[in-house]
């Protein structure tokens, strides 16, 4: 176990370095001068030159990258060029919001996707299977922004059941926080549940055709025990992989949903940073997201072994 984790960490280090180089370089290719954005209406050449010297914008890109990496290694992502607030402080304030949304969306996806996928595999080529596939394709086809606007109109405006937008921290009012996050979590979760359902169905169909499943049935074991104890446990290996990747996708890809429901998470922060050419914020968010992906993949590798003991000797 320890050797596997060490190998994965050694592979992850160059990956993170390459990602950091790409995000730093691509940011410099964006049109516009960040010094002019910071100066605002003040176009005094002396002010602009002072800003460039202060944030080392006149230095060569390799020098800027080296200075940035040195700060990042020390846990300092720099300061926002627009607000002069430390990037770590911005991330600390926005990351819990996005994590809460991602966790709730993943719960919705698991509650819908895995049971539906199991049922569809067990009832293969029946009306239940066809209906489940149609629902899954619908979930993949419906745009998140359209479903979000539709839910706001029906659930909030017409019925008044849930808040239309905004965010309340759980520490301030737990149940109101859950109510505020229900609709955006459902919007994200339905799309993920469709993907999860299709993969669960495929994995379960393959497992249910196995010899040991036929042997278990021949011994007279109940259908529920065969499906959930023997088949599902082995089918969980690829499903766990998908869930970790989908969770990473939620952390970095909930931009539109956060914008529609006015949720002050990573999505809104990165959109504002891109529009204002706030390099430090964008670099910090993308690097944190990349580290999160690497960490989730490492977690998936560990879960493989815990779920399937046959992999412990690999």
pLDDT confidence band for 1 (50 / 70 / 90): low
Whether residues 67 and 137 fall in one domain: no
Q: How many CA atoms lie within 13 A of 291 on its CB side?
A: 10
152 and 251 within one domain: yes
Q: What is the pLDDT of residues 156-170, one digit of tens each?
A: 888 888 888 888 888
* Average pLDDT along the chain: 80
Indicate whether 128 and 224 sit together in one domain.
yes
> Please, which residues bridge with residue 253 across strands?
none
DSSP 8-state secondary structure symbol assigned to residue 86: B
- Nearest by Cα to 39 from 60, 23, 57: 57
- 229 and 278 in a common domain: yes
Please, what sign has the CA dihedral across residues 157, 161, 163, 164?
A: negative
193 within some domain: yes
Distances (CA, A) of 62 to 33, 277, 278, 279: 18, 19, 19, 15
Cβ atoms of 265 and 258 within 8 Å: the answer is: yes
Least confident among 15-19, 182-186, 225-229 = 225-229
Q: Residue 91: inside a domain, yes or no?
A: no
Res 312 pLDDT > 60: no
Q: Are residues 167 and 301 in the same domain?
A: yes
On whether residue 87 sits in a domain, the answer given is no
186 plus 275 within the same structural domain: yes
Tell me: do 10 and 105 sit in the same domain: no
Chain centroid to Cα 252, Å, comes to 5
Residue 255, in any domain of the structure:
yes
Residues belonging to the chain: 314
**pTM score, whole prediction:** 0.79
User: CA-CA distances (angstroms) from residue 201 to 72, 116, 123, 242, 253?
Assistant: 43, 8, 10, 13, 25
Q: Per-residue confidence at 32, pLDDT binned at 50, 70, 90?
A: low
Helix (H, G, I), strand (E, B) or coil at 169: coil
Q: Is residue 84 part of a domain?
A: no
Same domain, 306 and 167: yes
**Which of 25, 40, 73 is a domain's end point?**
73
Residue 78 placed within a domain: no
The verdict on residue 166 lying in a domain is yes
Confidence of residue 107 (pLDDT cuts 50, 70, 90): very high
Our count of domains for the chain comes to 2
Residues 169 and 264 in one domain: yes
Q: Are 192 and 109 spatial neighbours (Cβ–Cβ below 8 Å)?
A: yes
Regarding whether 203 and 112 lie in a shared domain, the answer is: yes
What is the SS3 assignment for 79?
strand
Q: Are residues 231 and 109 in the same domain?
A: yes
Domain that holds residue 204: 96-313
Q: Read off the CATH number of the domain in which 226 is found.
A: 1.10.3720.10
Helix, strand, coil percentages in the chain from 3-state DSSP, rounded to 5: 80, 0, 20
Cβ atoms within 10 Å of 132's Cβ, excluding its own: 23
Same domain, yes or no, for 18 and 143? no
265-298 residue pLDDT tens:
877 788 778 777 777 788 888 888 888 878 887 7
Query: What is the pLDDT averaged over residues 49-53?
Result: 74
- CA–CA distances in Å: residue 151 to residues 91, 133, 182, 192, 244: 29, 23, 11, 17, 27
User: How confident is residue 39, by pLDDT bands cut at 50, 70 and 90?
Assistant: low
In a domain, 39, yes or no: yes
Query: Closest Cα to residue 261, out of 152, 99, 173, 159?
Result: 152
């Amino acid at each position: 176990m320890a050797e596997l984790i060490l190998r994965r960490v050694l592979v992850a280090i160059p990956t993170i370095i390459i990602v950091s180089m790409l995000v730093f370089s691509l940011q410099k290719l964006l049109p516009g001068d960040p010094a002019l954005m910071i100066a605002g209406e003040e176009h005094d050449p002396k002010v602009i030159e002072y800003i460039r010297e202060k944030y080392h914008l006149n230095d060569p890109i390799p020098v800027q990258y080296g200075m940035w990496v040195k700060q990042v290694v020390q846990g300092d992502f720099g300061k926002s060029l627009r607000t002069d607030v430390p990037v770590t402080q911005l991330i600390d304030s926005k990351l819990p919001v996005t994590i809460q949304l991602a966790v709730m969306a993943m719960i919705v996806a698991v509650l819908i996707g895995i049971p539906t996928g199991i049922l569809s595999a067990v009832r293969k080529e029946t009306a239940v299977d066809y209906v489940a596939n149609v629902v899954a394709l619908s979930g993949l086809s419906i745009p998140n922004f359209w479903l979000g606007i539709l839910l706001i109109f029906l659930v909030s405006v017409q019925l008044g059941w849930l808040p239309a937008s905004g965010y309340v921290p759980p520490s301030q009012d737990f149940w109101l926080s859950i109510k505020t996050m229900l609709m955006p979590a459902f919007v994200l979760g339905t799309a993920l549940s469709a993907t999860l359902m299709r993969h669960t169905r495929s994995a379960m169909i393959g497992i249910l055709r196995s010899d040991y499943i036929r042997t278990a049935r021949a011994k007279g074991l109940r259908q529920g025990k065969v499906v959930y104890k023997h088949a599902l446990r082995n089918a969980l290996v690829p499903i766990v992989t998908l869930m970790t990747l989908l969770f990473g996708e939620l952390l970095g890809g909930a931009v539109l949903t956060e914008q529609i429901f006015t949720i002050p998470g990573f999505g809104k922060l990165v959109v504002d940073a891109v529009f204002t050419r706030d390099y430090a914020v964008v670099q910090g968010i993308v690097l944190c997201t990349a580290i999160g992906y690497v960490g989730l993949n490492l977690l998936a590798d560990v879960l493989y072994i815990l779920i399937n003991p046959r992999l412990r000797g690999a």
